[in-house]
Amino acid sequence: MLKPPSKINKCLAAASLLVVFIIDVITPTEFVADILYLCCILLVFKEPTRTIISFSIGACLMIIIDVLFVDRNLKVNLPHLINRGMSILVILIISYTAILYRKLNQANLQKEQRYLKAIEEMIFITSHQVRKPVANILGLINILNNERIVLTPSELKDTLQYLLSSANEMDSIIKELNIFIEKTGQQNAAASIVQPKEVRLSRSQSREYSIDCMLMAVAN
């Protein structure tokens, strides 16, 4: 999940925005402090969307207020007005970029969490459900290989029947696991956000991983 917004960071950005506005008011028109407004927006780059929009609107309103009520008493030319207008446009573009970045980052983290949850479910299947039939098969094979144990034809038939039943159970679990891997792979392929390299596995890699999990479950 995303980290909670920092109140200190927001207070710092708000104080900086106010200071920049004061500097903009007392500074001559040829020394515009628009670049400082952009720095204030960058302080809340990773904050919630509502915070980014609020600071962006605040910065734009401060520039407009400065133009309407401060710069009008001074000699303002057309290039100066164009410069202030471009500053507002840049602030809006940066704010949109910050909002888009946050949405992409949040979607990416959510997809990572879903993938890790799928991995945990796959480990659970291999470590619990697969362990039982494997243990049964190994136990029955040990009985058949034990020279001290003499089985009657009826007992041998029952033992082979148990062995076949355990093998069928294991085959069913493996099929279920393959369906699970296929479904997970399709969900990952259908998503529009690319997963981080650290948690992204191809379909073949996922199958290899499931085999490794089985071997670890049997070994334990």
Which mean pLDDT values do the consecutive 10-residue runs of the chain (220 residues) have?
59 85 76 77 83 89 82 66 86 89 87 82 75 85 82 84 87 81 68 44 45 44
Q: Are 162 and 132 in contact (CB under 8 A)?
A: no
Q: Contact 206/185 with Cβ under 8 angstroms? A: yes
pLDDT computed for residue 73 by the predictor: 57
Give me the pLDDT at residue 31, please: 60
Instruction: Note the pLDDT of residue 32.
Output: 64
CA torsion, points 14, 16, 19, 25, in degrees to nearest 10? -90
- In sequence order, the 6+-apart residues with CB closer than 8 A to the CB of 125 are 173, 176, 177, 180
